[in-house]
């Protein structure tokens, strides 16, 4: 939905329903982020409870995005939000012919605006996106030109649509690996993923979540009970190691990391300002590392990244993997998590389509 259409709808609703009626829905809506028709569903997912009835019928899985919006409009016919959904559906129909562009392989590659679990305000900052709904080894967006490799994995039910289930893989010892990267660390980057353990943890359980590798590495993982650091139980760990001129950081002081199985969690690793590495778990800042010795420069380059288990002792499912060229903050991550959970709860499809 284009910005003009959004503004028109707001004016119409204010005129028909009155500001007092509509304002509860306006507060969480970021009008300026709705740059395409796919943004309309995001406004619904992040808006106030007053429009829950509209949201619940949006885009049932298997139906087209525009058809889903029309169905939602029918459900919401008695509310002031129906015109919004009808206008959004019309715009979606108009743009459906441009829903895919060919990539170098000749296969259709969706734009970020078609990927309904990418916030509209992030669309031009996403350089890698892998929902696993299209294919196990083919991301929907790969502006990095990354070479994708996986360990022992299979497509299973994910947070939204399908996800990537990793078995206990002691042979390949890898999760989702991206090679052939060239990410200079004088620029900001965010690595983001959703994950779920499939079996209960034990005191000795440990697993990798995120890591980036160049001349050194940056990582977030859980280490279990054992001789390493004399740990007595699963513990949160954030590390920055082996970068020339930088002091090594081994943060094991953020507490236990017991995680219940069959529950989805979100983790983000954010590099910014040439000296900051932060880790967020479920929207909360878990580690805030200030690098010492020098600033990161364009000569400090990430050549590969890994998401999920590397020889983990527990099976794990990943979903909605992203790399962005912007440093995300806690508020943005929490808003994102809330919207994704609400969209997934009502089976909004991963990709918009006719």
Q: What is the pLDDT of residues 111-121, one digit of tens each?
A: 787 788 998 88
Pick the closest to residue 29 from 14, 73, 15, 16 (CA basis): 14
Exposed (0-12), middle (13-18) or buried (19+): which is 138, by Cβ within 10 Å? middle
- The b-or-e profile of 307-340 (16+ CB within 10 A means b, else e) is bbbbbbebbbbbbbbbbbbbbbbeebbebbbebb
Cα 101 to Cα 94: distance, rounded to the nearest angstrom: 16
Q: What is the pLDDT of residues 143-155, one digit of tens each?
A: 999 999 998 889 9
Q: What is the pLDDT of residues 163-172, one digit of tens each?
A: 999 887 556 5
Cα 233 to Cα 222: distance, rounded to the nearest angstrom: 10
Pick the closest to residue 200 from 157, 263, 156 (CA basis): 263
Structure tokens at 202: 């034990």
Cα 245 to Cα 268: distance, rounded to the nearest angstrom: 25
C-alpha distance from residue 334 to each of 3, 46, 267, 281 (Å): 24, 11, 11, 10
Cα 100 to Cα 241: distance, rounded to the nearest angstrom: 41
Go through the domains of the chain in sequence order and give each one's CATH number: 3-97 (no CATH), 122-328 (2.60.120.200)
pLDDT of the chain, 354 residues: tens digit per residue: 333 233 222 322 322 233 323 222 322 323 223 334 445 556 555 554 434 444 444 434 334 544 555 555 445 444 444 444 444 544 444 444 444 444 433 334 567 877 889 988 898 899 999 999 988 999 999 999 999 999 888 999 999 999 999 887 556 567 899 999 999 999 999 999 999 999 999 999 989 999 999 999 999 999 889 988 888 999 999 999 999 999 999 998 778 889 999 999 999 999 999 999 999 999 999 999 999 999 999 999 999 999 998 755 688 999 999 999 999 999 999 989 988 888 888 777 888 765
319: enclosing H helix or E strand: strand 316-324
Q: What is the pLDDT of residues 91-114, one digit of tens each?
A: 444 444 444 444 433 334 567 877
Angle 56-60-61 from CA coordinates, rounded to 5°: 140
Cα 172 to Cα 218: distance, rounded to the nearest angstrom: 21
Mean pLDDT (the chain) is 75
Q: What is the pTM of this model?
A: 0.76
> What DSSP line would sit under 56-92, residue for residue?
TTSS-TTS-HHHHHHHHHHHTTTSTTHHHHHHHHHHH
Query: Can you list the positions of beta strands (E) in 145-234?
Result: 147-150, 153-157, 162-166, 176-179, 183-184, 189-197, 207-213, 217-223
């Amino acid at each position: 939905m284009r910005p003009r259409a959004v503004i028109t709808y707001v004016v119409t609703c204010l005129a028909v329903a009155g500001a007092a009626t509509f304002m509860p829905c306006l507060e969480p809506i970021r009008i300026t982020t709705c740059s395409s028709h796919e943004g309309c569903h995001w406004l619904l997912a992040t808006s106030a409870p007053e429009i829950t009835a509209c949201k619940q019928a949006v885009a049932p899985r298997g139906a087209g995005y525009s058809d889903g919006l029309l169905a939602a409009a029918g459900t919401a016919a008695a509310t002031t939000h129906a015109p919004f959904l009808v206008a959004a559906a019309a715009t979606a129909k108009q743009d459906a012919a441009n829903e895919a562009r060919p990539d170098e392989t000749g296969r259709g590659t969706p734009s970020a605006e078609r990927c309904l679990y990418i916030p509209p305000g992030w669309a031009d900052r996403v350089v890698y996106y892998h929902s696993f709904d299209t294919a196990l080894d083919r991301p929907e967006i790969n502006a990095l030109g990354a070479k994708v490799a996986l360990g022992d994995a299979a497509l299973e039910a994910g947070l939204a649509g399908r996800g990537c289930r990793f078995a206990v893989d002691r042979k390949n010892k890898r999760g989702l690996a991206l090679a052939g990267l060239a990410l200079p660390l004088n620029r900001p980057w965010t690595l983001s993923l959703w994950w779920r353990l499939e079996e209960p943890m034990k005191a000795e359980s440990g697993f990798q979540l995120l890591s980036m590798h160049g001349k050194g590495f940056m990582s977030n993982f859980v280490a279990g009970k054992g001789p390493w650091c004399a740990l007595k139980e699963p513990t949160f760990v954030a590390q920055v190691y082996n970068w020339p001129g930088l002091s090594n950081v081994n943060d094991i002081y953020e507490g236990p990391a017991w995680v219940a199985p069959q529950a989805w969690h979100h983790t983000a690793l954010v590099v910014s300002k040439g000296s900051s590495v932060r880790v967020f778990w479920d929207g909360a800042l878990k580690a805030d590392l200030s690098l010492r010795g020098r600033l990161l420069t364009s000569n400090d380059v990430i050549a590969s990244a890994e998401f999920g288990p590397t020889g983990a002792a527990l099976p794990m499912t990943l979903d909605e993997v992203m790399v962005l060229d912007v440093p995300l903050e806690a508020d943005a991550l929490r808003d994102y998590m809330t919207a994704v959970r609400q969209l997934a709860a009502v089976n909004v499809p991963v990709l918009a389509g006719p």
